[in-house]
Chains A and B, each alone.
Chain A
């Protein structure tokens, strides 16, 4: 089973460039999440989607937009990348109830 798949795995952007991080899950999960992980900061929630057609802000949404394209896919867009957005980005999904979240392998983004 593929689980949660993120693309790309690595990316280098110049300041001001835009890009979209893609995430897809094949577990028929309702909820999907985007996190960023920085050294010493743990994982911080950027946006989440409780179900198809809904999205909500997390702890650090500024500079990002998301789209829940369908139940499987949840994309994260950086409209104008900044060096402060250099991070590792993780997508996750889970089902309803007290279930755990499953993570993709991450995207390592560097903004120069």
Chain B
């Protein structure tokens, strides 16, 4: 079983739409959680960390549900520039390893 699972998509949405991605993780010892964004043929870059109480950064909201072991990312008022692949990442407690989901592709259409 993969450590981190994501729906690969693609999610095709019009500009201005709200879209949500979920990600599940298998190890309850996971401690740190992140969403990364990866543009085509580029390196992954941090979008936001995910905190236990949930957190927001502009149009982006991240939530963590430890009981059900999933993480979510909500994007409001989608822009064309939001088109990318979104990677869910977890780090296990006391381990130096990050585990990546295979990514969810988002296409925002005019």
Query: Across the A-B interface, how many residue pairs have beta carbons closer than 8 Å?
Result: 45
The CA-CA distance from A81 to B20 in the complex, in Å, is: 40
Q: What size tier do the contact residues of chain B reach?
A: 20 to 34
Residue of B nearest to A35 (CB): B100
With A50-B96, A104-B43: A98-B102 Cβ-Cβ less than 8 Å? no
Contact A31 B96 (CB under 8 A): yes
- Interface size of A by CB at 8 A reads 23
The CA-CA distance from A58 to B95 in the complex, in Å, is: 11
Partner of A40, one of B34, B100, B102: B102
Contact A103 B32 (CB under 8 A): no
A41 CB within 8 Å of chain B: yes
Contact A105 B102 (CB under 8 A): no
Question: Chain B residues with Cβ under 8 A from A74's Cβ?
Answer: none
Chain B interfacial positions (CB closer than 8 Å to A): 4, 8, 31-32, 34, 42-46, 49, 87, 91, 96-103
